[in-house]
Amino acid sequence: MATSELFDLLKEAQRIALEKHSVPNILQPGVIKELMMAEILGHDLIPQKDSADAKDNKGNTYEYLASIRRVDVTTNKGCSFQMDRITPSNLHRVTRNKAFYFGIFKDHLEVEEIWKVEIPVVLAEVKRQLEKCKNDIAHVNFLLRWVEEYGTKVFP
């Protein structure tokens, strides 16, 4: 396949994403995985970067975090999820949501599992990590074992 054919397919995918899902940029980091998760969960994607990731038919909003499961490695097995640029003054990025969904992917385009974690649990973990952070801005990490301990598997 020539590069121009690949670009033509990407342009067609962008046209469909905009027309059917109001996604203005399919190359925006994470948007394809979020779109896949939203379809599985029956949510509508919110493609604006400064908003929650999705909403349900009742107007509840949700945050999606995605990661690819590492296999065939000797250390750091599993996966981790990250929220960037968290501060005590922007905790609304957590509290505006009904729940968090953590998508575990087999590869870049195949969902393996989705876990749901309730907001009070997520907020407690975010605050715990913020308290230990030495910087003004934190990148909060959620390890797979934490998701499995505190979450509920909703897919498959």
Residue 104 falls within a domain, yes or no? yes
pTM score: 0.92
Element (H, E) at 86: strand 80-86
Residue 92 falls within a domain, yes or no? yes
Query: pLDDT tens-digit profile of 26-46?
Result: 999 899 999 999 999 999 999
Q: How many domains does the chain have?
A: 1
Residue 65 falls within a domain, yes or no? yes
Task: Pick the closest to residue 31 from 13, 16, 50, 46 (CA basis).
Answer: 46
Query: Domain range for residue 88?
Result: 30-155
* CATH number (domain holding residue 143): 3.40.210.10
Residue 48 falls within a domain, yes or no? yes
CA gyration radius, the chain: 17
Q: How far apart are CA 38 and CA 60, in angstroms?
A: 13
Query: pLDDT tens-digit profile of 116-130?
Result: 999 999 999 999 999
Q: Please give the C-alpha separations between residue 149 and each of 80, 85, 129, in angstroms, as whole numbers.
A: 14, 25, 17
Residue 121 falls within a domain, yes or no? yes
The set of residues, in sequence order, having a beta carbon less than 8 Å from that of 70 and lying 6+ positions away, is: 76, 77, 78, 79
